[in-house]
């Protein structure tokens, strides 16, 4: 199961847009453009930066995926 997290690989400030892009499987620049055009603003970005957990490294993501498989 995918989880929404901040990106460790694709970030400019805090990794929020990169994490959203990884979650939806699209380019992070598209998310950044949507964020700016829609006028969501810095306050919403800061809230997401505070609330979203840090991105998982590759080994942690692999372990999480296998743990989910065992639970099903």
Give domain limits for the chain: 16-71
pLDDT of residue 53 exceeding 70, the answer is: yes
DSSP state of 25: T
Q: Angle of helix 42-51 relative to helix 16-24, nearest 10 degrees?
A: 70
Return the pLDDT at 25: 94
Across 17-37, average pLDDT: 93
Check: CB of residue 65 under 8 Å from CB of residue 17: no
Return the pLDDT at 39: 84
| Greatest C-alpha distance within the chain | 42
Band of pLDDT at residue 28, cut at 50, 70 and 90: very high
Closest C-alpha among 24, 23, 2, 21 to residue 12: 21
Query: What is the reported pTM?
Result: 0.72
Across 32-51, average pLDDT: 90
pLDDT of residue 63 exceeding 70, the answer is: no
């Amino acid at each position: 199961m995918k989880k929404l997290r901040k990106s460790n690989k694709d970030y400019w400030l805090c990794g929020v847009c990169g994490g959203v892009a990884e979650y939806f499987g699209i380019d992070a620049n598209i998310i950044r453009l949507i964020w700016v055009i829609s006028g969501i603003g810095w306050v919403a970005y800061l809230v997401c930066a505070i609330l979203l957990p840090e991105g998982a490294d590759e080994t942690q993501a692999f372990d999480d995926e296998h743990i989910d498989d065992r639970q099903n």
